[in-house]
């Protein structure tokens, strides 16, 4: 039965998995018996109990009477929200600095080099403390910096125009936009759609845009808070700022830290991608009469993106895990919520398991999506990868 190499390989793998499963089950049973002996309850029934404490920032409605299950969802959504913002800003910073680093202008090149040498070599947690200290020492709300009567910056946070809708509706609106952008890019770049006629491609793009607009508008209209205007503009009333959306300094500090620190690493990765693009391809584009902007956006950037996407995937996963620094400055992220829940409920093993599974799902989702994108745009056969 085990005479062939394939059969022996399968037998070894099955045996290894059986041993791992046995160890996990044994450890779980021993831990459960130990907890019961000490009078501690195990299981996930505590998720239905009220927390009795509030959170500082939440994308959905939350009160101290809500359950542990809901506060974990709050922390999870805050982490995803912060991670997306931080990665997007880091890409903007990284692309800008990479352009500086590859520029023939000596001043821009020096600025890019100085930026990387400074911010890449200072730990991100120190940068989080630094930006948090700056943001919390801004003027009080009554003396806040006024940005055209539509936004304010103060020690209590950044106030931006918003929408008078429920948190769940705003979440649906945000998810619809993100998924719409993803499917639009996928439809326009994937090889399986390249054989479509121009009219079919145009109809496909219009369909995606139309569905996103319908879902987004429906979410806003159905989720509008009764007896309020749809748009909410921050205004200074007395000693405080009313209406609008308040972004707390904790979240702003983390977003800036992720953008500044992560941007320094992304800049070097993107710069390597620019350098991997042969000069002949850019020169050929210039010979066709394309402007420098079109050469950059149609030739250099797409070819560089194809070359660096696997490395960018690893950096995005690492940068997303940096959201756990929120516990250091008081931001209500996934890790912070789990830590507080452990102290309040005593359900250590269950909550750590939820934390591990949550980050596994989020990080593997990032890897899966970007690996699919990489598979769709990579060169096939024996062509050179440029």
Each residue's pLDDT tens digit, 98-129: 999 988 888 999 999 999 999 999 999 999 99
List, for residues 176-188, the tens digit of each pLDDT value: 888 888 888 778 7
Closest CA to 70 of 89, 93, 53: 53
In a domain, 355, yes or no: yes
In a domain, 3, yes or no: no
In a domain, 201, yes or no: no
In a domain, 210, yes or no: no
In a domain, 329, yes or no: yes
What percent of the chain shows pLDDT beyond 70?
Answer: 94
List, for residues 28-56, the tens digit of each pLDDT value: 777 667 766 766 666 777 888 888 888 88
CA distances (Å), origin 101, targets 95, 98, 163, 246, 260: 10, 5, 40, 36, 16
In a domain, 183, yes or no: no
* N residues, the chain: 386
Please give the mean pLDDT across all residues of the chain. Answer: 85
List, for residues 236-252, the tens digit of each pLDDT value: 877 788 888 888 999 99
Q: How far is CA 378 from the centre of its chain?
A: 24
Q: Domain of 329: which CATH number?
A: 1.10.3720.10
CA 249-219-182 angle, to 5 degrees, is 75
CA 220-224-227 angle, to 5 degrees, is 155
What is the domain range of residue 354? 48-142+247-377
Give dist(CA 161, CA 172) in Å, integer.
18
Give dist(CA 111, CA 118) in Å, integer.
11
CB proximity list for 183: less than 8 A, separation 6 or greater: 208
In a domain, 331, yes or no: yes
Counts for the chain of helices (H) and strands (E), in that order: 13, 8
CB proximity list for 35: less than 8 A, separation 6 or greater: 41, 42, 349
List, for residues 197-208, the tens digit of each pLDDT value: 888 888 888 999
Tokens at 62, concatenated = 């939350």
Tokens at 370, concatenated = 């970007």
Residue 227 has pLDDT above 60, yes or no: yes
In a domain, 91, yes or no: yes
pLDDT value at residue 1: 56
Count of domains observed in the chain? 1
Tokens at 355, concatenated = 């934390």
Q: Taking the CB of residue 44, how many other CB atoms lie within 10 A of it?
A: 13
């Amino acid at each position: 039965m085990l005479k062939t190499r394939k059969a022996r390989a399968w037998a070894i793998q099955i045996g290894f998995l059986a041993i791992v499963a046995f160890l996990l089950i044994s450890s779980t049973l021993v831990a459960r018996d130990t907890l019961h002996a000490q009078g501690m309850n195990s299981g996930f029934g505590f998720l239905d109990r009220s927390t009795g404490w509030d959170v500082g920032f939440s994308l959905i409605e939350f009160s101290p009477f809500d359950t542990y299950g809901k506060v974990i969802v709050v922390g999870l959504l805050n982490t995803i929200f912060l991670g997306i913002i931080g990665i997007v800003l880091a890409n903007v910073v990284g692309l800008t600095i990479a352009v500086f680093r590859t520029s023939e202008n000596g001043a821009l090149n020096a600025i890019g080099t100085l930026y990387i040498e400074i911010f890449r070599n200072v730990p991100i947690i120190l940068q989080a403390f630094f930006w948090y200290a700056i943001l919390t020492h801004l003027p009080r709300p009554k003396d806040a910096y006024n940005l055209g009567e539509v936004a304010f910056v103060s020690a209590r946070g950044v106030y931006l125009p918003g929408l008078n809708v429920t948190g769940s509706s705003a979440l649906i609106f945000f998810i619809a936009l993100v998924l719409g952008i993803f499917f639009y890019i996928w439809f326009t770049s994937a090889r399986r759609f390249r054989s479509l006629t121009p009219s079919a491609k145009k109809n496909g793009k219009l369909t995606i845009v139309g569905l996103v607009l319908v879902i987004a508008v429906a979410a806003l209209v159905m989720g509008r808070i009764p007896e309020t205007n749809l748009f909410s503009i921050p205004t200074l009333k007395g000693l405080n700022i009313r209406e609008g959306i308040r972004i707390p300094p904790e979240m702003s500090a983390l977003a800036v830290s992720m953008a500044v620190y992560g941007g320094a690493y992304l800049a070097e990765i993107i710069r390597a991608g620019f350098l991997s693009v042969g000069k002949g391809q850019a020169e050929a584009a210039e010979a066709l009469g394309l402007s420098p902007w079109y050469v950059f956006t149609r030739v250099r950037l797409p070819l560089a993106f194809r070359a660096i996407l696997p490395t960018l995937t690893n950096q995005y996963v690492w940068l997303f895990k940096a959201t756990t620094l929120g516990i250091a400055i008081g931001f209500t992220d996934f890790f912070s919520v789990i830590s507080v829940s452990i102290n309040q409920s005593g359900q250590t093993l269950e909550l750590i398991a939820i934390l591990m599974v949550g980050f596994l799902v989020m990080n593997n989702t990032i890897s899966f999506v970007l690996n699919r994108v990489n598979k769709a745009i990579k060169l096939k056969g024996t062509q050179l990868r440029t």
